Amino acid sequence: MGKIIEHIGIIGTGNLGTQIAIKADELNYEVQFVYNRTKDKAHELAGLVDAKALSILENLPSCDILFLTVPDHQISLVIQELLPLKEKLKDTIIVHCSGATPMNVLKDFELYGVFYPLQTFTQNKTPDWSHIPIFLEGCNLEVTKTLEIFAGSFSNNIFVQNSEERLKIHCGAVLVSNFVHALAHASLQISEQQNFKQIYFPLITETVQKLQNFQPHECITGPAKRKDFTTIQKHLSLIQNSEIKKFYEIMTKYIQENII
Ligand SMILES: NC(=O)c1ccc[n+]([C@@H]2O[C@H](COP(=O)([O-])OP(=O)(O)OC[C@H]3O[C@@H](n4cnc5c(N)ncnc54)[C@H](OP(=O)(O)O)[C@@H]3O)[C@@H](O)[C@H]2O)c1
């Protein structure tokens, strides 16, 4: 039987911190406080979820779960700032939300874990949480159970996964999301078009939809798959940006050597 989560604290009111606070509030958890170094940003989110806005860590009120939603490279720094409050936080489950950071960075606290939702979050777009895969890890069985129950109210797609597996999943997520957005940007540069939605959106939509029914290797078409070497050379002569050109060459080789 896990602990009952009622009160939530958030450190870092950026893209993910904002969306967790909004969803938790919608689910009737009490968002006790939101902390941001920049006071105005804390106030902005606090107003939305009826929470206390904080910009000084020493004043943290107690809560059942504390989210560290700061960039991966700042997690250790925030942990150092929180350690003097360790006694006050002994009944609080402290979680980070990073796919690439091991759980044990939190090992100096009593109760800790990881809550990693595999989705791309931005502050201004409310996601549908119901199918978002959430990868959890807890410092002991009770914490894991508590996180499962809590995360289960956000989504019906919950996994318990260790830090090593989570890192691999996170790396895959960078490929299928961040790199796709970067490639969308590059496609406009190469084609000298402005309107991604009008020109490429039907193609990218079909590309994604096919993946609902087929394995990636069954979906792929294009010059590399067809061995249209003349077309590949024409494209390579056209691409000005040396990084995009390198990427085109590397992915063409990857398709030819791994997918055909
Ligand atoms: N966004 C996503 O799609 C996504 C998805 C899954 C997991 N995650 C994970 O969620 C975490 C947060 O990512 P994010 O995209 O929400 O980041 P973000 O939008 O850049 O927001 C980061 C927040 O952390 C604050 N912050 C930065 N350094 C700090 C420090 N030293 N002390 C206190 N606060 C600090 C920032 O405050 P200021 O406003 O003062 O700069 C900002 O509020 C990361 O671990 C990331 O891997 C993100």
| Residues having CB within 6 Å of any atom of ligand 1 | 12-17, 36-38, 41, 69-72, 74, 77-78, 97-98, 116-117, 119-121
Tell me which of 70, 124, 155 to substitute to probe ligand 1's pocket, judged by most ligand atoms within 8 Å of the beta carbon.
70
Closest C-alpha among 19, 5, 8 to residue 48: 19
Question: What local confidence, expressed as pLDDT, does residue 22 receive?
Answer: 98
Output the six-digit token pair for 137: 């890890």
User: Cα 259 from chain centroid?
Assistant: 28
Report which ligand 1 atom has the smallest distance to the Cα of 17: 16
Q: Predicted confidence band at 1 (pLDDT cuts at 50, 70, 90)? A: low
Report which ligand 1 atom has the smallest distance to the Cα of 81: 32
Domains of the chain, with CATH numbers? 7-161 (3.40.50.720), 166-258 (1.10.1040.20)
Using the mean position of ligand 1's atoms as its centre, give its distance from the Cα of residue 75 in Å: 9
Residue 242 CB partners (closer than 8 Å, separation 6+): none
Look at 200 and 260; give whichever has higher pLDDT: 200
Using the mean position of ligand 1's atoms as its centre, give its distance from the Cα of residue 17 in Å: 7
Report which ligand 1 atom has the smallest distance to the Cα of 118: 6
Query: CA 39, CA 183: separation in Å to the nearest integer?
Result: 36
| Among protein residues, the one whose CA lies closest to atom 39 of ligand 1 | 38
Using the mean position of ligand 1's atoms as its centre, give its distance from the Cα of residue 15 in Å: 7
Q: How many angstroms separate the most distant Cα atoms in the chain?
A: 68
| Cβ contact 45:103 at 8 Å | no
DSSP the chain: -PPPP-EEEEE--SHHHHHHHHHHHHTT-EEEEEE-SSHHHHHHHHHHHT-EEES-GGGPPP-SEEEE-S-GGGHHHHHHHHGGGTTTTTTSEEEE--SSS-GGGGTTSSEEEEEEE-S--BTTB---GGG--EEEEESSHHHHHHHHHHHHHH-S-EEE--HHHHHHHHHHHIIIIIHHHHHHHHHHHHHT-S-HHHHTHHHHHHHHHHHHHS-HHHH--SHHHHT-HHHHHHHHHH---HHHHHHHHHHHHHHHHHT-
pTM of the model: 0.95
Q: What is the pLDDT of residues 19-51, one digit of tens each?
A: 999 999 999 999 999 999 999 999 999 999 999
Average pLDDT over residues 196-213: 96
Average pLDDT over residues 57-70: 94
CB atoms within 10 A of CB 193: 12
Through-space distance between the first and last CA atoms of the chain, rounded to whole angstroms: 50
Using the mean position of ligand 1's atoms as its centre, give its distance from the Cα of residue 24 in Å: 17
Mean pLDDT of the chain: 96
Report which ligand 1 atom has the smallest distance to the Cα of 77: 31
